[in-house]
Structure 1
Amino acid sequence: MENIKNAIINGKTVLGIELGSTRIKAVLIDENNTPVASGSHDWENSYIDNIWTYSLEDIWKGVQNSYKNMAMDVKEKYGLTIKRIGAIGFSAMMHGYMVFDKDDNLLVPFRTWRNNITEEASTALTKLFNYNIPQRWSIAHLYQAILNNEEHVGDISFMTTLAGYIHWKLTGQKVLGIGDASGMFPIDLSTKDFDQKMINQFDELLAPKNFPWKLRDILPKVLLAGENAGVLTEEGAKLLDVTGELQAGIPLCPPEGDAGTGMVATNAVAKRTGNISAGTSVFAMIVLEKELSKVYPEIDLVTTPTGNLVGMAHSNNCSSDLNAWVGLFAEFAKAMGIETDMNKIFGTLYNLALEGDPDCGGLLAYGYLSGEHMTGFEEGRPLFVRSSNSNFNLANFMRVNLFTALGALKIGLDILLKQENVKLDRILGHGGLFKTKGVAQKIMAGAINTPVSVMETAGEGGAWGIAILASYMMNKAKNETLEDYLDSKVFAGKEGVAISPDPKDVEGFEKFMERYKKGLAIERAAVEYLK
């Protein structure tokens, strides 16, 4: 306790704040990279004028609340007020579209990763660059706005991500960590910067439009893990800590995306390692040894925070519909006058799934609350289907909803593991889906036919991951790589518990996937008829 108090008083702690889809979390770590305090703020995106968005007001309210709640946690535990911090890092949902004019005004509401509205641009740019440009990427949003003849495009002075925006407002620096940058525009692995050849191609494409900017002018500067990304300004300190106690001058690490912080939080930044983050959306990231043999629309190529190539399979939908069903069972329990502790309800229902038939008894479900690019849906309709001879019981019902949460993801992972023969030494799971011990981990192992580990610390998630990146910037030895820092200073002795795939689960998941692919026509009909 005294060591922690001294670290807080002497500004030896490190703060990480991550803005996720449904929660903003702040984690304060000590000199051993161990969390000593945390605070969070729940929020939800809004669907306004056919756009998934968060308002600037909600963004700052959330950041300030998560910081305030962390500071209150410090006060309650240690009786101290935070004035100094050794280093700070911010991360957030990757991709999306935030553009500003020369007076720093946001030109259109923030368009998040969740919007599937850029298919025309995504297809055209993928063809132009011969490089997969997913719909979520910032460059796809920019080009779609141009194709739509949106008036604001000519006024753009700066384009960034959510993490880049917050970092800019707190430090004045228009920079971005390479992992987050790799979800805006393709990266040249040799220069560790935006691909200049593709930038030139894009500028040539736009030449007839005579915009007052070139692409490089409006993009942030790309930084690698460990580099200094500026310091907290006086204005930034007041913006983060509304009480005015926090002092300016604190160094910040490069702002990163949630993919990069997920890699750090699971020690999956080295080649032949991977991690799966499963919550509102689900994505798997595998650090590749070499480029893929061809362009796959299902696979994004991003990078680690140090600039190593990562194959990323991403599904927009994961646990939202599953959580809604659990909520329905909780309502029933309450109506029956039964104790309704949500952790117990989740644990009971999830564990029941392990008792179901390997292939879910012939049941079929789609948790498509929003569109799903992996299977070509611009809109989604949550759906549950069974035939008259399906084995319909609670265990199979829970099992099919857990299986389908990973269904679209498996389509992408099969490309990497089966078609490209990508090799994996270890893969780690983290995120809300893994909270119930052993259940999603066992199902995931069956889905990808690879042992899956979950570490206790992985529950700290991306906020802890970005705090670690800030700690690395502050504390790394000369020439110490991020991989070495993680192995020796953060994860030594914390390998986590691995669950190997059960052959019955592997076979059952393959059978379910045959049904899943065939049944997409039913989902298509639901989208068309349920308006």
Structure 2
Amino acid sequence: MTTKEMIEQGKTYLGIEFGSTRIKACLVDESLAPIAGGSHSWENRLDNGIWTYTRDDIITGLRHCYAELKKDVTDKFGVTLTTFDGMGISAMMHGYLAFDENDELLVPFRTWRNTMTGEAAAKLTELFGFNIPERWSIAHLYQAILSKESHVGSIAHLNTLAGFVHFLLTGERTLGVGDASGMFPIEGGDHYNTAMLEKFAALPETAVLSRSLSEILPAVAQAGDKCGTLTEAGAKLLDPAGDLKAGVLFAPPEGDAGTGMTATNAVRKGTGNVSAGTSIFSMIVLEKPMKGHYPQIDVVTTPDGADVAMVHCNNCCGELDKWVNMFIEFSKLAGSPVDVSDAYEILYKNALNGAPDCGGVVGYNTISGEPVVGLGAGRPAYYRQSDSAMPLADFFRAELYGAMAALKAGNDILFEKEAVQPKSITGHGGLFKVKGVAQQFLADALGSDVSVMSTAGEGGAWGMALLAAYTCEKQSETLADWLDNRAFAGMEKSTVSADKAGSEGWKQYMKNYSAGIPAAKILGEI
């Protein structure tokens, strides 16, 4: 069967992911290879001190992304998209979307980037004996209760961004377990922790809620579960032109962490991945429960419910992108304009020539707060030793190190205090598009082999398409086995090992980085 025939007969799978700076659609055929895509660029806005996207931002972005996908399919194959075998929605995890009984937003969407829930997160962590990060939905809800926000008594439903879009398209209030694990702690791989729900309900101040927390939270589903179908209203919302037909089967909506694990074949115990874009986070699938709990490490789950140690950092490529754009602007002023992709290639690869410790140069990429290293608010910054030569290679290497420094700090705790030793780590996302650079620096930072697959640039939208395919094809195979046998058989990948000089350089860099944190805190307060 040709690709065109597969599209005409709906023998394809669609994944759509809402990232922090881009909404991306990935259409795959029966071989699970990407055949078409679409995207929509967007930016969160700082509104009254809250990082947010509006409801209109969400719907407009979704429609434009899908329209771009339709155009790509028509341009390549001369076919109009009308249906798929399966599809799914993924998005940035955590945050706070609170709705009343009429499904109206009660307050603007509070994204994962917001760090105003410190009081609630600390109290819940103590209450549960389990780390509750500031960006988790339950921390946002409890902070709203503690702050006596007027909307709390009207809450009928909470959701994540992926769950909200899934609801718009299917009418189902269901969430994949990986995404749900960023709302409230999970037990047993398939439901919210019962004892913790009871402890939360017993808090006197939670009496202000009109419904129990278990009623407010979306239902939990695992990878492979069937989670509704595209409704007539959903089809019209997604494709106002009216070509898309209702009835498409949906996979559980997932968070970007879950789709990242899927896209890197890292859902099996003992494997790990690092996803690096606007934010950077590592996911190590645990082989045994952790002995302690740490504010730098979340325990979430794979899309099929296995426990994962997650180190999530709010910042990664945003500040790097600003510097690259500045050099592009300079090239234009100099009369020799450099293409965007060439600029990244030149600057990243030149960083390999920098000193392993960056020559005393240190970069803080903290556009927003970075709780992993104790920064409540962010200001991008750099500093250097007075005698630093600071060639371009040292400077840009320091910026690349800075994009990974908080991740290293969190994983050092995991590796040293919990003796976690992943069998493999796979990188994906924009940071790894320039071959061999960020990959090498990450290997040096973690002291581990790091692999990058040929699909590293596809990211979470492709991972979501795979989960949609698994939902349609699942029989008795586990997700890990299905990925091995179906999606990644014969996949090309490159692997680099930690370099001794690079690892030693990281040690000195982190000493300098840590020494400057008090100054970074002061900058964040200005």
TM bucket normalised to smaller: over 0.9
Q: Distance in 2 between matches of 1:41 and 1:179?
A: 25
Q: Distance in 2 between matches of 1:351 and 1:76?
A: 35
Aligned residue for 1:526? 523
Aligned residue for 1:421? 419
- Opposite residue 112 of structure 2, the aligned amino acid is W
Moved more, 173-182 or 337-346: 337-346
Distance apart, 1:387 and its partner CA = 2.2
Matches within 5 A, 1:347-386: 347-386=345-384
SS in 2 for 1:15: strand
CA contact (8 A) 2:227 2:251 kept: yes
Unmatched 5+ residue regions in structure 1?
none
- Opposite residue 501 of structure 2, the aligned amino acid is K
Distance apart, 1:169 and its partner CA = 1.1
1:299 to 294, 297, 310: 297
Aligned residue for 2:32? 33
Deviations 1:186-227 (A, max 9, x none): 001x26200011001101114673432110010100000000
1:327 to 325, 328, 334: 325
Deviations 1:272-316 (A, max 9, x none): 100001111100000001111111010000000000000000111
Moved more, 443-452 or 494-503: 494-503
Aligned residue for 1:285? 283
Aligned residue for 1:343? 341
Distance apart, 1:367 and its partner CA = 1.0
2:195 to 187, 197, 206: 197
SS in 2 for 1:38: strand
2:224 to 213, 223, 226: 226
Q: Distance in 2 between matches of 1:309 and 1:523?
A: 33
Q: Distance in 1 between matches of 2:208 and 2:422?
A: 47
Aligned residue for 1:485? 482
Matches within 5 A, 1:56-455: 56-188=55-187, 190=188, 192-206=190-204, 209-455=207-453
CA contact (8 A) 2:189 2:301 kept: no
SS in 2 for 1:200: helix
Q: Distance in 2 between matches of 1:212 and 1:83?
A: 42
CA contact (8 A) 1:272 1:289 kept: yes
SS in 2 for 1:517: helix
Q: How many residues align?
A: 526
Q: Distance in 2 between matches of 1:158 and 1:278?
A: 31
Structure 2 residue 511 is matched with structure 1 residue 517: no
Distance apart, 1:328 and its partner CA = 1.0
Aligned residue for 1:12? 11
CA contact (8 A) 2:260 2:275 kept: yes
Q: Distance in 2 between matches of 1:196 and 1:63?
A: 35
The structure 1 segments of at least 4 consecutive aligned residues displaced by more than 4 Å after TM superposition are: none
Distance apart, 1:418 and its partner CA = 1.9
Deviations 1:243-287 (A, max 9, x none): 110000111000000000000000000011000011111000000
Distance apart, 1:425 and its partner CA = 1.1
Distance apart, 1:377 and its partner CA = 1.5
Deviations 1:88-141 (A, max 9, x none): 100000000001101111100000000000000000000000000000000000
Cα gap change, 1:191/1:374 in structure 2, threshold over 3 Å: closer, same or farther? closer
SS in 1 for 2:246: coil
Distance apart, 1:494 and its partner CA = 1.1
Identity %: 52
Q: Distance in 1 between matches of 2:512 and 2:76?
A: 52
- Opposite residue 274 of structure 2, the aligned amino acid is I
Aligned residue for 1:501? 498
SS in 2 for 1:302: strand
- Opposite residue 180 of structure 1, the aligned amino acid is D
2:460 to 459, 462, 467: 462
Q: Compute the TM-score of the two structures, normalised by the length of structure 2.
A: 0.99
SS in 2 for 1:151: coil
Cα gap change, 1:207/1:46 in structure 2, threshold over 3 Å: closer, same or farther? closer
> Alpha carbon RMSD of aligned pairs, Å?
1.0
SS in 1 for 2:289: coil
SS in 2 for 1:298: coil
CA contact (8 A) 1:133 1:300 kept: yes
Q: Distance in 1 between matches of 2:238 and 2:468?
A: 17
Distance apart, 1:151 and its partner CA = 0.6
CA contact (8 A) 2:328 2:337 kept: no
CA contact (8 A) 1:293 1:420 kept: yes
Q: Distance in 1 between matches of 2:319 and 2:487?
A: 35
Q: Distance in 2 between matches of 1:17 and 1:421?
A: 36
CA contact (8 A) 2:88 2:464 kept: yes
Q: Distance in 2 between matches of 1:40 and 1:359?
A: 38
Distance apart, 1:331 and its partner CA = 1.1
Distance apart, 1:495 and its partner CA = 5.0
- Opposite residue 341 of structure 1, the aligned amino acid is D
Q: Distance in 2 between matches of 1:258 and 1:150?
A: 29
Moved more, 375-384 or 122-131: 375-384
SS in 2 for 1:85: coil
Q: Distance in 2 between matches of 1:289 and 1:60?
A: 40
CA contact (8 A) 2:315 2:403 kept: yes
Unmatched 5+ residue regions in structure 2?
none
Q: Compute the TM-score of the two structures, normalised by the length of structure 1.
A: 0.98
Q: Distance in 1 between matches of 2:33 and 2:320?
A: 32
SS in 1 for 2:273: strand
SS in 1 for 2:458: helix
Q: Distance in 2 between matches of 1:208 and 1:363?
A: 48
Q: Distance in 1 between matches of 2:335 and 2:150?
A: 57
CA contact (8 A) 1:363 1:391 kept: no
Q: Distance in 2 between matches of 1:83 and 1:322?
A: 40
CA contact (8 A) 2:300 2:308 kept: yes
